[in-house]
Structure 1
Amino acid sequence: MDLSDELVTDPYGVYERLRTTAPVHRILGTDGRPAWIVTRYDDVRAGLADPRLSLDKKHAQAGNYQGLQLPPALDANLLNMDPPDHTRIRRLVGKAFTPARVSQLRAPARAVADRLLDELGHDGSADLIAAYAAPLPVTVICELLGIPRDRRGDFRAWTHALIVPDSSRPRAAEQAIGAMMRFFVALIAHKRQSPEDDLLSDLIAVRDSEDGQLSEDELMSLVFLILFAGFENTVQLIGNAVWALLQHPEQLAALREDPTMIAAAVEELSRYEGPALLAIRRFPVEDVTIGGVVVPAGETVLLSLSAANRDPMRFPDPERLDIGRDASGHLALGHGIHYCLGAPLARAETEIALTALLERFTVLELDGDDAAQWRRSLRARGLKSLQVRFRTGAPGR
């Protein structure tokens, strides 16, 4: 069945229909090629941890949906790897996202959030994605990697071109990839000449050592993935969270009344309106039975994180946003060995972004009927723009 357009315009409605009729369905991806989509929580969670479902494209059968295609210099990343290569590279970068390292980033992230809110002023309207949700995580991830301000480039435009196909600009993705590669080549060369106390300099030092832990393509691909995933997912998580709270004023009021609920709220918001509709595509290395359906080796499997997170067999009344809910076990950031490496940082940034926003503005509401503009993507769930009105001071002023 060709559900690519429906999945873009009404993902949760489609997922509910699919989930209630059968656990696994044969669909066509955005490129018109077939894939199997899995929608029930238990099957999705098991699939995320199943070593028979490979991320390595060498196991892909020709003619099936394969998703975004990148040049080799950007393709040698964790989203295309199985152990032992995945284990080797994840270990190298894992130290950047430990709880201790993330804790050190909280104060700088809050300072960035406060500065961005200062720039918004006290009373007015703005696109909260462009003015707040996007610049906050890109600043944090660039600080982590050690990217100078004047070399940060237009990450939002590049990632948007890769995630959201535009038929009116058929070469947009290709041009974005070219621009990113030129940026990374120059950046790595600069850091080789002038290393600093940052993650990128550390990775370059590993690459240039004699122990062969990291190839040049793996180095560039890793930088690409950290920037792409570390930035893009968090923009979507922050933006989606604000939108969901504004759609549910009683939940927004509850969070204002008890700010200590922020960590639980972020978990529920991630479950309810997470940044990824689908996990990265997988390819069975042998025939695999999922939900009673046999998926042949080499065909494409799409595990729907959003469908699983709204499965009533796992989360009662899943269409209801409830920040008091125990949302532990949600799959918004994955599961198993491919669990999102930057999850602790994404959670911390979202907590900080929401806390600072609600502390600053006593009035925060959608600005018009078309305030939320969603991006058209089969895989990502995120806003192009979110127009809001805001005001400091007493709510009744």
Structure 2
Amino acid sequence: MTEATTEAMTEATTEAPTPVPYPFAEAVRLDLHPRYAELRERGTLLRVRVPYGDDAWLATRYEDVRTVLTDPRFSRAAASRHDEARLTPLAIRTSVMGVDPPDHTRLRKLVANAFSRRGVEHLRPRVTDLVRRLTDDMVARGSPSDLVTSFVTPLSGLVICELLGVPYEDRTRFRHWLEGFFSITALPADDVAARIEAMYDYIAELVARRRAEPADDLLGGLVRARDRDRSCSEQELVDLANVLLLAGYHTTAAQLASSLYVLLCQPEQAELLRSRPELMPSAVEELLRYVPLIAHVSFARYATEDVLVGGTLVRAGDAVLPAIPSANRDAEAFPDPDRLDLARRPNQHLAFGVGLHHCLGASLVRVQMEVALTMVLGRFPDLALAVPPDEVEWLRGMQARTPVRLPVVWGGRAAAAAGRRESAAAGADRGAG
């Protein structure tokens, strides 16, 4: 520790201030509460009281969030030794996301190859086939359509189910259960507990089936590794498979749906991608940064020793909640951060986290978004929202932001819908005058 750091820690406030209730408000569409910008400007952490568990520090600046995510003095595993600061009624078993080395290294190694950039590139042709099939179905049914139910959710479900080895025909069952893991206020605590338990039981049944009927999928590989060299416990196997399904199905769909919403609300940006398809990789990175997918904060990290974060002294044993959406809108890291810039370079966003717990499925999400956005924009050159943006319904009381439905039109219906919106806008202007 440097002399300057020691002096700064000595001068830092030694008594924790009175905590402020958090979240500040329920997430609304893709808006960020203005308090985040105020806190970034202030440059210190905020002491908050969350609905469940310990009081915590809230980190909102890019550099502070990055510190909490990368500094080994902040631990995920330590959360299990505390009443974890959280927004959910129950503390979630987060598998590889909830442990530190060496357990983290051991568990991540089990699936690292499947989710590596090279491993995921082998899946691109299959993802392309699925996207083509789903857009073919949209064309056959005709306009209008709901992108969530006709395209986004089936795509994410088919991709992760095929990769993991989960029967896609079971989706109605496990989608209902998966909602329990994401609920903040949407479901009562007893319902959350019942759904989570049912999901774990379902995964355990799949594991037993793989033992009886081996298959060449990711779940089959995990079962073989577990039985061959005891590389993980049975519970660790179930938890890991559950987290992969949870993230691959729900989170990926939420990101893609919200990204499509952004492009439909800014049609000039969609047209830019149609005219300059070479921008798609950087566009995906920008959409990952711009969309505040996490409704509020990521999982708590606990300090294992005193750490100075920004101008705040975090004591050993204190929890810190990283607000990744706020960090991704920090002007110190991203010039003009509230503007969607599909050619933004550099773009070191934190949408997938960073460091030890960087999202395993990052490469898979990127491939799905690149293929899906390219084909949807290409096959439907006049795709438009069928309703005004503020009439799109959003899922509420959940950890991830996503539209419930994304009604769209194309062809003659798109022109008619645009005309109706222009007439409504003109009427509103006359009324205001």
TM-score norm. by structure 2 comes to 0.84
Q: Measured at CA, do residues 18 and 234 of structure 1 come closer, stay the same or move farther in structure 2, by a change above 3 Å?
A: same
Residue matched to 2:265: 247
Query: 2:183–2:399: 8 Å Cα contact kept in structure 1?
Result: no
Looking at structure 2, the residues matched to 168 and 224 of structure 1 have their Cα atoms a distance apart, in angstroms, of 20
Does the residue aligned with 2:313 lie in a helix, a strand or coil?
strand
AA aligned opposite 2:325: S
Partner in structure 1 of residue 124 of structure 2: 106
Deviation at 1:114, TM superposition (A): 1.8
- For 1:289, what is the secondary structure of its paired residue? strand
Distance in 2, matches of 1:393 and 1:103, equals 37
What's the CA shift for 1:348? 0.4
Query: Structure 2 counterpart of 1:271, which letter?
Result: R
| 1:11 and 2:21 matched | no
Give the equivalent residue in structure 1 for 2:392. 372
Q: Does 1:386 align with 2:406?
A: yes
Aligned-residue offset at 1:89 = 0.7
Which shifted more, 18-27 or 90-99? 18-27
**Deviation, structure 1 residue 326:** 1.1
For residue 99 of structure 2, what is the aligned residue in structure 1? 81
| 2:123 alignment partner, SS class | helix
- Residue 248 of structure 2 corresponds to 230
- Give 2:231's aligned residue: 213
How big is the shift at 1:360? 1.5
Q: How large is the Cα RMSD of the aligned pairs? A: 2.5
- Distance, in Å, in 2 between the alignment partners of 1:280 and 1:287 is 20
* Compared CA separation, residues 297 and 8, structure 1 to 2 (3 A): farther
What one-letter code is carried by the residue in structure 2 that aligns with 1:34?
D
Partner in structure 2 of residue 117 of structure 1? 135
**Which residue identity lines up with residue 366 of structure 1 in the other structure?**
L
CA distance in 2, matches of 1:93, 1:326: 30
Is contact 2:385-2:408 (8 Å) kept? yes
The answer for the alignment partner of 1:28 in structure 2 is: 49
Letter in 1 for 2:207: I
Farther-moved stretch of structure 1 (42-51 vs 143-152): 143-152
With over 3 angstroms needed to count, the CA separation of the structure-2 counterparts of 1:289 and 1:7, relative to structure 1, is farther
- 1:129 to 1:174, Cα distance in 2 relative to 1, 3 A: same
* Residue deviations 1:199-240 (CA, integer Å, cap 9, x gap): 11111011112x321100110011011111122221121111
CA contact (8 A) 1:374 1:385 kept: yes
* 1:44-63 → structure 2 map (5 Å cutoff): 44-57=65-78, 60-62=81-83
For residues 169-199 of structure 1, what are the alpha-carbon distances to aligned partners after superposition, in whole Å with 9 as ceiling and x for unaligned? 4433122212212211211111111111111
SS at match of 1:124: coil
> Alignment partner of 2:166: what SS?
coil
Aligned pairs, how many? Answer: 393
* CA 54–95 in structure 1, closer or farther in 2 if over 3 Å, else same: same
**In structure 1, distance between residues paired with 2:171 and 2:399:** 25
Instruction: Tell me: CA distance 1:132–1:53, structure 2 relative to 1, closer, same or farther (3 Å).
Output: same
SS at match of 1:27: strand
Whether the 8 Å CA contact 1:126–1:389 is kept in 2: the answer is yes
- The CA distance in 1 between the partners of 2:78 and 2:21, in whole Å, is 23
Secondary structure in 2 matching 1:171: helix
Q: Partners in 2 of 1:49 and 1:197 — Cα distance?
A: 35
Worse-superposed segment, 289-298 or 272-281: 272-281
Aligned pair 1:43/2:64, yes or no? yes
CA contact (8 A) 1:77 1:221 kept: yes
**Percent of matched pairs sharing the same residue:** 37
43-52 vs 343-352, greater mean Cα deviation:
43-52
Classify the secondary structure of the residue corresponding to 2:410.
Answer: strand
Give the CA deviation at 1:350: 0.8
Which segment drifts farther, 94-103 or 331-340? 94-103
* 3-state SS of paired residue (1:283): strand
Cα deviation 1:227-275 (Å, max 9, x = unaligned): 1112222112111111111121221110111112111100011111143
CA shift in 2, pair 1:217/1:70, >3 Å? farther
| Residue number in structure 1 paired with 2:274 | 256
Q: Could you tell me the TM-score, scaled by structure 1's length?
A: 0.91
Shift of 1:69: 6.7
Alignment of 1:1-397 (within 5 A): 1-6=20-25, 8-9=27-28, 10-31=31-52, 34-57=55-78, 60-62=81-83, 65-68=85-88, 75=93, 77-121=95-139, 123-166=142-185, 169-209=188-228, 211-276=229-294, 277-369=296-388, 370-377=390-397, 379-391=399-411
- 1:86-122 per-residue CA deviation (whole Å, 9 max, x = no partner) reads 0111011101112222111111111111222222236
Q: 1:194 to 1:202 in 2, by over 3 A?
A: same
Distance 2:238 2:89 in 1: 16
Which one-letter code corresponds to 1:386 in the other structure? Answer: L
**Consecutive unaligned residues in structure 1, runs of 5 or more:** none
Sort the Cα spacing of 1:5 and 1:312 in 2 relative to 1 into closer, same or farther, 3 A. Answer: closer
Q: Flag the 1:172–1:132 CA change in 2: closer, same or farther, 3 A.
A: farther
What secondary structure is seen at the aligned counterpart in 1 of 2:25? helix
1:60/1:298 contact within 8 Å kept: no
Per-residue deviation, residues 129-157 of structure 1 (Å, max 9, x unmatched): 22211111111111111223334453433
Q: In structure 2, what residue type is equivalent to 1:389?
A: V
**Larger gyration radius, structure 1 or structure 2:** 2
Match of 1:109, SS state, is: helix
C-alpha contact 1:361 1:393 (8 A) present in aligned 2: no
The code of the aligned residue for 2:326 comes to: A
Give how far 1:58 is off: 5.1
- Closer/same/farther in 2, CA of residues 378 and 2 from structure 1, 3 Å limit: farther
Q: Deviations over 1:290-330 (max 9, x none)?
A: 11111222222111111111100111100000101115211
Structure 2: gaps spanning 5 or more residues: 1-19, 419-433
Secondary structure at the aligned position of 1:14 is classed as helix
